Structure 1
Amino acid sequence: MGWTQDYTPLGNNLLLSSLAALIPILYFFWALAIKRMKGHTAGSTTLLITVVLAIFIYGMPAEKAVMSATQGAVYGLLPIGWIIVTSVFLYKLTVKTGQFEVIRSSVLSITDDRRLQALLIAFSFGAFLEGAAGFGAPVAISAALLVGLGFNPLYAAGICLIANTAPVAFGAIGIPIIAVEGPTGIPALEISKMVGRQLPFLSIFIPFYLIVMMSGFRRSLEVLPAILVSGISFAITQYLSSNFLGPELPDILSAIISLVALAIFLKFWKPKRIFKFAHEKETAAGQEARQLNSDKQTHSGGQVFKAWLPFLLLTVLVSIWGIPSMKNALTGHYTGDNPFLLFINEIGGRLSFAPRVPFLDNQVIDSSGKTIEALYKLDLLGSAGTAILLAAVLAKFVTAVSWKEWGAVLTDTLKELKKPVLTIATVVGFAYVVNSSGMSTTLGMSLATTGTMFSFFSPVLGWLGVFITGSDTSANLLFGSLQKVTASSVGMEPILAVAANSSGGVTGKMISPQSIAVACAAVGLTGKESDLLRFTLKHSLFLLFLVCLITFLQHHLFSWMIP
């Protein structure tokens, strides 16, 4: 029996209904930021409260609310949880075999400065992984690398979450922008152009912002040349590729050019003072520095290449998995005539399952009268986590570790990540219930009532959508049409509003419950999710304000920037 969403269940009063819809979100913030609950406890209780509200306030049948939660939980396990498990496993494998010490030394051979290491790994390398894979892999891998270099785990996770802001809108081969073309009818290339005229401003600013956050304004000026090389090379490439090539490649191209440009620059330029964290200052100029110099001399080029090879294999495989035609073949949806891809398609089809969610599939009706499809999507071969696992299998042969040791590291990783994966499953379940019950639409409708100020508040919808769903793609699908319709009604260019949804969404990624859970899992901070949220929240709000301001100015003063 079908059930129609009601976006104003409390007496057709949008304000009261919005306050009700805010309860789970406010509770989650309170549980983590104030009460400091462990992540799995906060996630589980938030999910429970959301289901109760969906049933008793929004009138959603109990079986549909519960099954919606299970749909989200399954998605939290695959692909998201799978990516986290395999990413952490690969990192631990390099540590177990001693290869990470060589990796650490190779990074230090470029620079001992913690500020510049953050730019290389958190900003540039993380952006590459975002463009190739998305879904938590960038933060998981880059944060683990920083921890291995000696960064405080909480600090490493926070830095990587904030650095990940710049590339999110074009993540996973441009999927967030490609996806929103459908519900809005605006060509993806046009949306890409508009996003590419907003985010480059953040891309220039974020490297500087990261370094100021790490070392203060005065000490950030010491490495300003490197910051400019990193940010400007990224931003220019992001603008050119998004405006002339489309949404698929801006992250990958920008990250590669930024990474290479900074690495080359650092061969010819060094800061006058090497920045270390407070607990490192006593030894930075003495024995540790001499030991590091000794390490740099003992590792040959071949040893360094061998140590990095597992991550190079990961990069290649994740990139291959992200190619649209390959992705379709891996999930059994390839329709071309390439014999190799047809062979992969046959295997992928057998390993991809999409059973319908009982009591939910096509039984929830939105305001337009359309039924909403609900499937458990189990793409075993197509998940980026499988590409990472394959990299770990190949790394077994590169590092010459025995299968017994390989299996032991995998077992330890699975044991360690039980609670983080539970956290991810519960918070994604919460997101799905919020969406299927209509709560998220209620909140979107409230922001749409801001009238002439909508050009300022438009990015807030994207920020809210990414906080709820953990995905810029989902936020665009959730609010893209609402942005377009509302913009038309208030005299704003629809393409600007749709782009602002994606650009605003990137600032919500760092506080999304599933992003927080992923980051904590990657650096071994299970149970410390509240500390990480407190770390990132203020930065999320500040960067959101900047995107709101950019959108407002583009609407009122710089309309010539709109394609």
Structure 2
Amino acid sequence: IMNTMKQSGAMNTINQMFTTISDDPRVQMVIIGFMFGAFIEGAAGFGTPAALAAPLLISVGFPPLCAAMVALILNSTPVAYGAVGTPTSTAALQVQDQVAKLASGADFEPYKLGLTKWAAIPSAIICPIIIFVAMCMMCKLFGKEKSIAPAFACIPYILVCAVAFDIPFIICAMALGPEFPSLIAGLVGLVASIVLAQKGILVPKNKFEFPDKGEWADYWKSTQAVQDDSGEAAGEPMSPVMAWLPYIIVAAILVLTRIPQTGLKAVMNVAKLPFGISIPTILGVEVNYGFKWAWNPGIIPFVIVALIIIPLHKMSGDKVAAAWKETFSMLAGAAIALVFGIAMVQLFRNSGTPAAEGAEAMYYNKTMLRVMAEGMAGLFGNAYIVVSPLIGVIGAFISGSATVSNTLFSSLQFDTATLLGLPTMLVVAMQICGGAMGNMVCVNNIVSACATCGTVGAEGRLIRSNIVPCLIYAVCTIVILGGLIVTGFNPNPYGMPW
């Protein structure tokens, strides 16, 4: 959808809306860097928010390196529900069989909704903190005064904007599932932050400024042309309503298909023809795999709406071809990592074989995943709650995606929590949060942001600077979810100790 809208000129129209809202970089950072970035994360994910928000920040006067840093730091809280909930849905899918073994015959949906809720609660609490930290870093590293003082003047605006984001974020997570929180909260927060800025409510009276461009350090600047990912304007001027209409249609279809009252959820959420494909066996081995294509948001609504955009925005064949070519190019890297990551996890989970005799007999009928979990449990014990989100961070850093991180480590986190007697839902939620916060130091995203902003060669600086907010995010997550675990809180919907 995003690439099709770039080619149709819709993204250009949307971006132009932001250039006249405020001339204060602190306000621009909240509106463009966080709110617009959160909405794009909810709709597209996979590194697109930084690729869109960073050039837009540069166009309103941000130093290129600052734009890249801010866009990456702020693309953390919404990530767990990026691409209409793909990272959280993936984590839930990875532990579904393990939940079924421990709660035979139980409906999995309450557990999935619980994961969604308990990953959202710490994310919502941390939201204003991470925005403030990003603003402090912007003011200290790139401001004229080289001081964090200007960030404190923006605290009232940050808090109100964060509340406007957090309320729909939590409500969607608790009531609707992982598809909605970032998408809906990003849109609501975007409208609220723009209205506050336009009316001058809670915005700082004194304007924050960057130094003149002649005073910028060389490493702040672009070393090559900045890639503008907003797309070229279409031949005909496009109204804001027409530009936003595809996203409105996406939200409407998701609501209609995800709430049970319409009856569509019961029809589409099945792995049976015509709305799904079921594979009971492979080469005579029982697997019971199923693909619910009609329930996959990548197909309905995203592919459907992408096709609707073509006549809606009167696109030429060349622009359509360019949009789909760019889409397949963007997805190739993530798809390769996901395919082999899923294959590796399946090997971990299904590798148990009987050992004949000797010392190996201790591993009789144990999978690789189980042996790894026992090693983690033995090494860290109850201190594992401190390590859990950091595993998610490392997974995202190495693999390049929160989704791949959750694919690789959700099952491991579940098994380790089970062995230690910890509530699995909270531990897997810490994995989801870890994958999200790891997005700001993810090698793929940093390389992509530097290429987009023309700051190639500054990747090391970005990793070093972004480690600070990443660790702050990790500590806050450990305090919130780890604190609940220490008090003995167990949110499990089945009333079981795990």
Please give the TM-score of this superposition, normalised by the length of structure 1.
Answer: 0.60
| Aligned-partner residue type, residue 306 of structure 1 | M
Structure 1 residue 107 and structure 2 residue 18: aligned? yes
* Corresponding residue number in structure 1 for 2:89: 178
Given candidates 121, 145, 149, the residue that maps to 1:218 is 149
Task: Identify if the C-alpha distance between structure 1 residues 467 and 384 changes in structure 2 by more than 3 Å, giving closer, same or farther.
Answer: farther
Q: Is the 8 A contact 1:205 1:231 kept in 2?
A: no
In structure 2, distance between residues paired with 1:381 and 1:245 = 19
* Corresponding residue number in structure 2 for 1:232: 163
Given candidates 546, 551, 555, the residue that maps to 2:485 is 555
Task: Identify if the C-alpha distance between structure 1 residues 461 and 115 changes in structure 2 by more than 3 Å, giving closer, same or farther.
Answer: same
Structure 1 residue 156 and structure 2 residue 37: aligned? no
In structure 2, distance between residues paired with 1:84 and 1:385 = 11
Q: Is the 8 A contact 1:420 1:517 kept in 2?
A: no
How far does residue 479 in structure 1 lie from its aligned partner after superposition? 2.3
* Corresponding residue number in structure 1 for 2:352: none
Q: 1:361-418: CA deviations, max 9, x gaps? A: 979xxxxx99899x9x9x9967958856865775566xxxxx5xx9599879989x99
Task: Identify if the C-alpha distance between structure 1 residues 244 and 413 changes in structure 2 by more than 3 Å, giving closer, same or farther.
Answer: closer
In structure 1, distance between residues paired with 2:87 and 2:310 = 28
Given candidates 193, 202, 206, the residue that maps to 2:117 is 193
Given candidates 17, 29, 33, the residue that maps to 1:118 is 29
Structure 1 residue 279 and structure 2 residue 203: aligned? no
| Aligned-partner residue type, residue 312 of structure 1 | W
Structure 1 residue 259 and structure 2 residue 170: aligned? no
- Secondary structure at the residue paired with 1:278? coil
Task: Identify if the C-alpha distance between structure 1 residues 260 and 428 changes in structure 2 by more than 3 Å, giving closer, same or farther.
Answer: same
Structure 1 residue 129 and structure 2 residue 40: aligned? yes
Task: Identify if the C-alpha distance between structure 1 residues 192 and 418 changes in structure 2 by more than 3 Å, giving closer, same or farther.
Answer: closer
Structure 1 residue 504 and structure 2 residue 434: aligned? yes
Q: Is the 8 A contact 1:111 1:117 kept in 2?
A: yes
Task: Identify if the C-alpha distance between structure 1 residues 554 and 225 changes in structure 2 by more than 3 Å, giving closer, same or farther.
Answer: same
Q: 1:126-184: CA deviations, max 9, x gaps? A: 21222233233333322333233333333223222211211111223333333415244
Higher relative contact order (CA 8 A, sep 6+): 1
How far does residue 508 in structure 1 lie from its aligned partner after superposition? 0.9
Given candidates 174, 193, 218, the residue that maps to 1:243 is 174
Count of aligned positions: 418
Given candidates 293, 307, 312, the residue that maps to 2:244 is 312
In structure 2, distance between residues paired with 1:261 and 1:322 = 22
| Aligned-partner residue type, residue 385 of structure 2 | S
Q: 1:172-221: CA deviations, max 9, x gaps? A: 33333334152442621122222233211211212212211211421011
| Aligned-partner residue type, residue 34 of structure 2 | F
Structure ranking higher in helix proportion: 1
How far does residue 427 in structure 1 lie from its aligned partner after superposition? 6.9
| Aligned-partner residue type, residue 162 of structure 1 | I
* Corresponding residue number in structure 1 for 2:132: 208
Task: Identify if the C-alpha distance between structure 1 residues 413 and 370 changes in structure 2 by more than 3 Å, giving closer, same or farther.
Answer: closer
Q: Is the 8 A contact 1:131 1:174 kept in 2?
A: yes
In structure 1, distance between residues paired with 2:298 and 2:428 = 32
* Corresponding residue number in structure 2 for 1:471: 401
How far does residue 456 in structure 1 lie from its aligned partner after superposition? 1.3
Q: 1:11-47: CA deviations, max 9, x gaps? A: xxxxxxxxxxxxxxxxxxxxxxxxxxxxxxxxxxxxx
Q: Is the 8 A contact 2:36 2:186 kept in 1?
A: yes
In structure 2, distance between residues paired with 1:412 and 1:258 = 28
Task: Identify if the C-alpha distance between structure 1 residues 193 and 174 changes in structure 2 by more than 3 Å, giving closer, same or farther.
Answer: same
Q: 1:509-546: CA deviations, max 9, x gaps? A: 12223323443454455676555444434432332233
Q: Is the 8 A contact 1:173 1:248 kept in 2?
A: yes
* Corresponding residue number in structure 1 for 2:411: 481
In structure 1, distance between residues paired with 2:120 and 2:416 = 22
| Aligned-partner residue type, residue 209 of structure 2 | K
Q: 1:225-254: CA deviations, max 9, x gaps? A: 111111122223323332344333222332
Please give the TM-score of this superposition, normalised by the length of structure 2.
Answer: 0.66
Q: Is the 8 A contact 1:162 1:539 kept in 2?
A: yes
Quote the RMSD (CA, aligned, Å).
4.7
Given candidates 518, 521, 545, the residue that maps to 2:475 is 545
How far does residue 435 in structure 1 lie from its aligned partner after superposition? 5.7
In structure 2, distance between residues paired with 1:115 and 1:308 = 24
Q: Is the 8 A contact 1:476 1:501 kept in 2?
A: yes
Q: Is the 8 A contact 1:126 1:142 kept in 2?
A: yes
Task: Identify if the C-alpha distance between structure 1 residues 323 and 155 changes in structure 2 by more than 3 Å, giving closer, same or farther.
Answer: farther
* Corresponding residue number in structure 2 for 1:513: 443
In structure 1, distance between residues paired with 2:115 and 2:79 = 15
Task: Identify if the C-alpha distance between structure 1 residues 268 and 170 changes in structure 2 by more than 3 Å, giving closer, same or farther.
Answer: same
How far does residue 85 in structure 1 lie from its aligned partner after superposition? 5.9
In structure 1, distance between residues paired with 2:30 and 2:132 = 9
How far does residue 555 in structure 1 lie from its aligned partner after superposition? 1.6
In structure 2, distance between residues paired with 1:380 and 1:207 = 30
In structure 2, distance between residues paired with 1:445 and 1:385 = 42
In structure 2, distance between residues paired with 1:434 and 1:453 = 27
Question: What residue ranges of structure 2 are gaps of 5+ in the alignment?
Answer: 100-107, 141-147, 216-236, 259-264, 350-367, 494-498
* Corresponding residue number in structure 1 for 2:52: 141
Q: Is the 8 A contact 1:463 1:508 kept in 2?
A: yes
In structure 2, distance between residues paired with 1:322 and 1:533 = 36
Q: 1:75-102: CA deviations, max 9, x gaps? A: xxxxxxxx886576567x866xxx58xx
Q: Is the 8 A contact 2:76 2:436 kept in 1?
A: yes
